[in-house]
Amino acid sequence: MNCARGGYRPFEAGRRPEHNEGDMRRFGTNVFAATAFALACSSLAIVNTPASAASTPTVNWYARPESGGSTVAAAQQCTKESNGKFRIDIQELPADASAQREQLVRRLAAHDSGIDLISMDVIWTAEFASAHWVKPWPKTLAAKLSDGVIPAVLKTGQFRGRMYGAPLNTGSQLLWYRKDLVPEPPATWDEMIDIAEKLPADQNKIEVQAKRYEGYTVWFNSLLASAGGQMVKRGEPSFARQPTEKALAIIKRLATSPTADPSIANADEGTTDQVFNAGKAAFMVNYPFVYAAAKADAPEVFQNLGVALWPRVDPNEPSHVTLGGFNLGVGTYTKHPGLAYAAARCLLDDQRALLRATKDGLPPVKEALYDDAKFRKANPFADLLLQTFRDGSTRPVSPAYNDISLAVQGTIHPPRGIDPKSDVKALHDLVDDAVNSRGLL
C-alpha cells in the first residue's frame, strides 16, 4: 500500500454521491474501499510513529476521512510540521451527515473533553454555537482566517456576529446539459422547461433532487433565494408571498411536466446522475462530481457535456444557489484550546486547501486559489464555480434548522402535490412552530 501517493483519485476514477447536509460532496463507487484505504494509512501512521511521540499532546479531529485521502494527508502533514508540538488524530465520523450530527451532539452534550476539532456541516453553525458546544474564534485569528475568503462562504460559519466555524471547503450546484441536444444553455428555469418539452421523449428529462430529504430543501431554498425570498429573517419565518409562490410554481410546473423524471419524488444526487449518464436527460442540476463521473463512466455523454450557471428564477437577477461544505470548529470542552487553534490554522492554510481540492474535488474557500493550475485542470469550470459561490445563498441560520428543514420537506412533498398559493401559509405556520419549538406534526 503506497499511502504517500494519496490513494484514490476522484478525477481519474469518477465518484458517486452519498448525500451530506445536502452535501453533497463525497462521492465514490469505490467509497468503502477508499475509506478503508484512508483508515489503513492512518493506522500505518500511528504504528510507525516513534515511541517518543507518546508524550506529544494529541489534538483529536472529529471528521469523516475523504475518499481521496486529503483528510489523512493533511493531518499527517500538520503533525509533522508542528515539530512535536502536537499530533492530530482523526476520530472518524459516520458517512451520513445526520449520523455525524447525532454522534457529536451526544458527546458534546456530555461535555466530552476529547473533542478538540470538529468538521462541522455548514447547517450546524447556529445550533452548535447557541448550545455553547464550540468556541467562538478569537477575533484577531478570525480576521486572519477570513482574509480572502469568499464573503458568502464566510457567512456559513458565522452566528450573531462571531465566527464559530472557519471555512474549510465549500460546494454548490451547476447546470449540466447535453450540447448535442441543446446548443446553448437556458438562462432560466422556465426557459429550460420550454426547451426540454420540445425534445424527444426519451431524452427530454430535467433531473433534479426531489426526494424527501435535505437535498429537496436545498433545491427549494435555491429557488426561493433566487426569487428574492428567504425562509427565516431575523430569527422568524419570512416566506414573502410573491417569491415563495414563484419558487413553488417552478417545482410544480416541472413535476407535472412531461420533462419530469417518473421517479422525481425519489431522486437524489446519485440517481439523477445515473439517469443523465444513461442518456435519458437533457438537463441536470447537480454538484461538480458529475464531471469526473461522466468522464469515467459515460464517455458518450461526456464528449457532449455542457456546464453552465444554475438557471435563474428572475431573468434579471443572478441565481443564488445554496452553499454546502464544511467549517472547522474548536470544541468548547477541549483541554488543549491553544493547540487546537494551532492545528486548525495549519489545516486551513492554502497548501491543505489545494490538497482537498485536487485529491477530493472539494472547492477552496479563498478566491485566489481558483487561479491554481492544478485545480483548474481538474475543474475546467472553475470560473463558474467561483461566480456561483460569490452569489451563493445560505440556509436559515437558526439553532432549529433541522426542524425547519423537516417542516419544509413535509409541507411541499411530493412535488406534484404542491399548491403554490395555499402552501405559502402552510410553510410559514410549520416553520414558525419549528423556530419557536412548538413541535411538528
* Residue 78 grid cell: 500538520
361: left (phi over 0), alpha (psi -120 to 50) or beta: left
Residue 36: burial class (beta carbons within 10 Å; 0-12, 13-18, 19+):
middle
The residues with which 326 forms a beta bridge, in sequence order, are 121, 169
pLDDT the model gives residue 36: 39
The residues with which 134 forms a beta bridge, in sequence order, are 331
pLDDT band (50, 70, 90) for residue 312: very high
Fold: same for 3-171+324-390 and 174-321+400-435: yes
Q: Give residue 198's identity as a one-letter amino acid code.
A: K
CA–CA separation, 422 and 409 (whole Å):
15
The CATH number assigned to the domain with range 3-171+324-390 reads 3.40.190.10
Where in the chain are the domains?
A: 3-171+324-390, 174-321+400-435
Residue 204 scores a pLDDT above 80: yes
The residues with which 322 forms a beta bridge, in sequence order, are 393
Largest CA distance in the chain: 70
pLDDT the model gives residue 83: 97
Average pLDDT over residues 296-311: 96
* Residue 9 grid cell: 483519485
Strands (E), 208-361: 232-233, 236-237, 281-286, 305-308, 324-330
**What does the DSSP assignment read for 317-368?**
S---PBPEEEEEEEBTT-S-HHHHHHHHHHHTSHHHHHHHHHHH----SBGG
Q: Give residue 231's identity as a one-letter amino acid code.
A: M
pLDDT the model gives residue 30: 36
Report pLDDT digits (tens) over 57-104.
Answer: 999 999 999 999 999 999 999 999 999 999 999 999 999 888 999 999
* Residue 429 grid cell: 405556520
CA–CA separation, 380 and 374 (whole Å):
10
CA–CA separation, 304 and 181 (whole Å):
9
CA–CA separation, 145 and 157 (whole Å):
12
Higher pLDDT, 33 or 297: 297
pLDDT band (50, 70, 90) for residue 439: low
Domain 174-321+400-435 has CATH 3.40.190.10: yes
- Beta carbons of 313 and 393 less than 8 angstroms apart: no
The rounded percent of the chain whose pLDDT value lies above 70 is 87
pLDDT the model gives residue 437: 79
pLDDT band (50, 70, 90) for residue 55: confident
The residues with which 166 forms a beta bridge, in sequence order, are 328
Higher pLDDT, 44 or 309: 309
Report pLDDT digits (tens) over 110-143.
Answer: 999 999 999 999 999 999 999 999 999 999 999 9
The residues with which 195 forms a beta bridge, in sequence order, are none
**Cβ neighbours of residue 303 closer than 8 Å, sequence gap 6 or more:** none
